[in-house]
Structure 1
C-alpha cells in the first residue's frame, strides 16, 4: 500500500495531515474526492446495468431456443470449432537400425541421444555407418 493510501484510509493519519492544510484546501480536496467517488458510483452502476441487460438477453435467447425445440447443447456443439488434428511436423524417417539387448529390432532417426547399444558399439570402435539403413 502506498504512503498516500495509508494516510487517506487511516483517520488518525488523515487528521495529522489535515492540520497542515487550510480550510479552503481541505474543502477543495473534499469537493474533488466527492467528484471522484460520484464518477466511480456512476460507472459501476452502468456496468451493473450492462451486465443485467446481457443476462436478460441470454435468458431471452434461451427461451426462444426452447420455444423452437432446439437444445442448447446442440447449439453449443455446432458453435464449437471442430478440433483440428495436430498440424505439427511429420515423423522423421528412421536412419539407423540396431538390435537391442533383448534381441528386438529397433530403429533410430539420428536425432536426440544415441541409443545405449549404438553408443556402446561406438565406444568399442564401431563406425556409425555400420548401423545405416540402406
Structure 2
C-alpha cells in the first residue's frame, strides 16, 4: 500500500487532515469514495457471477461426459500439445574451424561471441576467411 493510502487508512491521520479541510470538500470526497466503493462492489459481484456461471457450465459438461462414459481426464489427455509447443530450431552448421593454444580443434558457427583465438588473429591482421571450413 502506498504512503497516501496508509494515511487514508489511519483514522487519527484522517481526523487531523479533516480539520484543515472545509466541510463541503469533505462531503464531496465522501461522495466520490461512495461512488468508487459502489463501482468496485459491482465489479466484484460481476466477477463472482461469471465464476459461478463458469462453474455451473463445467459441472454440466462434466456430468454430460460421465453419462456418455467419457472420463474428463481422458478428454484432456487426448488433446495434442503439438499445436502449442514451440518447434526447436535445428542446430546451425559450423562455418569456421580453429585450434586453441592446447592444440584442440574447435568449430564455430559464426554467431555469438567471436572465439578469442579468432579475435586475436583478426586483431593481428588476419582474416576471418582464413578459418573457413572448406565446403565439399
TM-score (norm 2): 0.63
Q: When the two structures are aligned, how many residues end up with a matched partner?
A: 114
Displacement of 1:20: 0.9
Which residue of 2 is the match for residue 48 of structure 1?
A: 48
For structure 2, list consecutive stretches of 5 or more residues without a partner in the other structure.
Answer: 98-104, 116-133
1:92–1:109: 8 Å Cα contact kept in structure 2? no
List structure 1 segments (4+ residues) > 6 angstroms apart after TM superposition. Answer: none
Which residue of 2 is the match for residue 64 of structure 1?
A: 64
Gap change, CA 1:35 and 1:84, over 3 Å in 2: closer
Displacement of 1:110: 5.5
Q: Is 1:14 matched with 2:48?
A: no
Distance 1:3 1:78 in 2: 52
Taking only aligned residues, the RMSD between alpha carbons, in angstroms, comes to 3.5
Displacement of 1:24: 1.2
- When Rg is computed on C-alpha atoms for both structures, the one with the higher figure is 1
For structure 1, list consecutive stretches of 5 or more residues without a partner in the other structure.
Answer: 97-106, 114-131
1:8–1:14: 8 Å Cα contact kept in structure 2? yes
Q: Is 1:29 matched with 2:14?
A: no
Distance 2:16 2:38 in 1: 26
TM-score (norm 1): 0.64
Which residue of 2 is the match for residue 39 of structure 1?
A: 39
